[in-house]
Amino acid sequence: MATATQAGADGWTSRTAFILAAIGAAVGLGNVWRFPTLAGENGGGAFVVFYIGCVILIGLPLVLSEILIGRHGRSDAMHSVEKVASDSGVSRGWGLFGGTGILAAFLIMTFYSVVAGWVIYYIGVMGWDFVAAFFSGAPFAGALAAENPDQISSRMTDLFANWPLLLVLHAMFMVATIWIVARGVQSGIEKAATYLMPAFFVLLILITIYGAFTGNFAEAVAFMFNPDFSKLTASAMNQALGQALFSMSLASAALITYGAYVSRETKLAPTAVMIAAADTGVAIIAGLMIFPIVFAAGLDAAAGPTLVFQSLPIAFHTMPGGALVGFLFFILIFFAALTSSISLLEGVVSWCINKFGMARATAAWGVGGLMFVIGIGCALSLNVWSEFRLLPFIPNFADNNLMDTIDGFTGQVLLPVTALLTSIFVGWRADRQLVMAETGLSGGMFTLWRFLVAWLCPIAVGLILVFGLFPALLA
């Protein structure tokens, strides 16, 4: 097994660097695109409350579980689990859930890169618009002032119909990701996170303040925090759990892989809390950034995946300074997406390096290339392949194009299954002393954490998985 890429030779230079990279992995399209989309579609408040419950009771205990596996195993997701298993005297077959996590990361990246391509497109549209406004002496004009809302809206439909452009954008994002991962942990991943994440936070706060002043903040707060539990269907719960896992980058190799680069001295429990809190905080703030703008323009919160791309530019159209803010907004999403995609690729790449003894650059280009190829199918499912169904015999996915099928299958099946296996392994099979020593917890805190991992996670995740996939069982 190659160790040169693991802790020591090329580990994090500091605890701060690790936390920034882990937060960088967690904060991404999941927070600024998928969370508002799902919260909007599922009626707001009740979904948000249930989501936060999932984060605290299921997500947080799992974050700690995954980092501890990585730090003990000191390798990629699969090899780390195998190491913990053999040191605990149980079957190395448990490495399976490391493998399903790696598979999840692989699949997520195929559509993630396509969506990130839309972001690049809108950076171009809004950036060009801002530059034009600036030089015509109106730097604080609303976005796309020369167009009417229908025209702005058709920007997205036009993009979706233009498959060559979609592929070019998808390729651009993939190449940027591969290039950073190929450079390695310290000079690539860590450097990217230490520049991009602070920039992200500054933009996030600025745009939220802007939205609070110019948008309909009160209505957004009511929408997000007044729960109407009649809207909380089994499928909404399944999506909330899947989103909590997705957003914290759980069950998809990242935290195990990054845990391997963490020093022995770092205390894992507070680190886990910081990662979960930062990720959830950003999701909530992203909601408070987006919904005031959406409501002020009288648009529908339940617009779906196009909310951020189709609705927001229309909203920026009518707002003072919308040209500039719109441009900054898409740059913000781009930064978030890039630090996440790096981690998605790294999870798979580090496994290839260890498993096949590949050079880092070879693995990065090879795996990234394969993700790109499957991603082509996702891009084409918006146009020429829109009628193609991959899993027509599974009710949840019968109506989904390839992109929605990969997204739905990872979020609603693969991530929950991997999380379920992780919690059973850490809660029941891994050596108790080993686990306790790695967590650094003792007494009541350890008991509480262990209870959540061993009992609550498997039962809750199992139930949500079964009822989410087979809602007919509830009737």
Q: Rule CB under 6 A: which residues touch ligand TRP?
A: 25-26, 28-31, 105, 108, 246-247, 249, 252, 254, 340, 343-344, 347
Cα 52 versus chain centre, distance: 16
Contact 293, 312 (CB under 8 A): yes
Distances from the Cα of 278 to the Cαs of 23, 81, 289, 411, 445, in angstroms?
7, 26, 16, 21, 21
Pick 254 or 328: Cβ nearer ligand TRP: 254
Pick 317 or 360: Cβ nearer ligand TRP: 360
Separation of alpha carbons 237 and 233, rounded Å: 6
Pick 26 or 152: Cβ nearer ligand TRP: 26
Question: What is the smallest separation between the CB atom of 251 and ligand TRP, expressed in angstroms?
Answer: 8
Pick 216 or 422: Cβ nearer ligand TRP: 422
Tokens describing residue 247: 């957003």
Angle between helix 15-26 and 268-296 (nearest 10)? 40
Separation of alpha carbons 355 and 192, rounded Å: 26
Question: What is the smallest separation between the CB atom of 290 and ligand TRP, expressed in angstroms?
Answer: 15
Identity of residue 254: A
Question: What is the smallest separation between the CB atom of 164 and ligand TRP, expressed in angstroms?
Answer: 26
Question: What is the smallest separation between the CB atom of 85 and ligand TRP, expressed in angstroms?
Answer: 22
Question: What is the smallest separation between the CB atom of 66 and ligand TRP, expressed in angstroms?
Answer: 11
Contact 237, 268 (CB under 8 A): no
Question: What is the smallest separation between the CB atom of 109 and ligand TRP, expressed in angstroms?
Answer: 8
Closest chain position to ligand TRP (CB):
30
Pick 31 or 439: Cβ nearer ligand TRP: 31
Contact 173, 341 (CB under 8 A): yes
What residue ranges in 32-140 does DSSP mark as E strands?
Answer: none
Question: What is the smallest separation between the CB atom of 407 and ligand TRP, expressed in angstroms?
Answer: 11
Question: What is the smallest separation between the CB atom of 258 and ligand TRP, expressed in angstroms?
Answer: 9
Pick 275 or 424: Cβ nearer ligand TRP: 275
Burial 309-343 (b: 16+ CB within 10 A, else e): bbbbbbbbbbbebbbbbbbbbbbbbbbbbbbbbbb
Question: What is the smallest separation between the CB atom of 349 and ligand TRP, expressed in angstroms?
Answer: 12
Separation of alpha carbons 256 and 244, rounded Å: 17
- What is the residue-wise DSSP string for 382-396? TTTTTT--S-TTSGG
Question: What is the smallest separation between the CB atom of 175 and ligand TRP, expressed in angstroms?
Answer: 18
Pick 343 or 405: Cβ nearer ligand TRP: 343
Question: What is the smallest separation between the CB atom of 31 and ligand TRP, expressed in angstroms?
Answer: 5
Pick 142 or 347: Cβ nearer ligand TRP: 347
Provide CB contacts within 8 A for 258, sequence distance 6+.
18, 21, 22, 25, 67, 70, 343
Separation of alpha carbons 74 and 333, rounded Å: 32
Angle between helix 163-182 and 322-356 (nearest 10)? 60
Pick 31 or 110: Cβ nearer ligand TRP: 31
Pick 54 or 324: Cβ nearer ligand TRP: 54
Pick 118 or 130: Cβ nearer ligand TRP: 118
Contact 456, 57 (CB under 8 A): yes
Question: What is the smallest separation between the CB atom of 103 and ligand TRP, expressed in angstroms?
Answer: 12
Place of tokens 């913990």: 84
Pick 245 or 269: Cβ nearer ligand TRP: 245
Separation of alpha carbons 324 and 7, rounded Å: 42
Place of tokens 């809302």: 149
Place of tokens 């399903």: 100
Burial 200-239 (b: 16+ CB within 10 A, else e): bbebbeebbebbbebbbbeebbebbeebeeeebbbebbbb
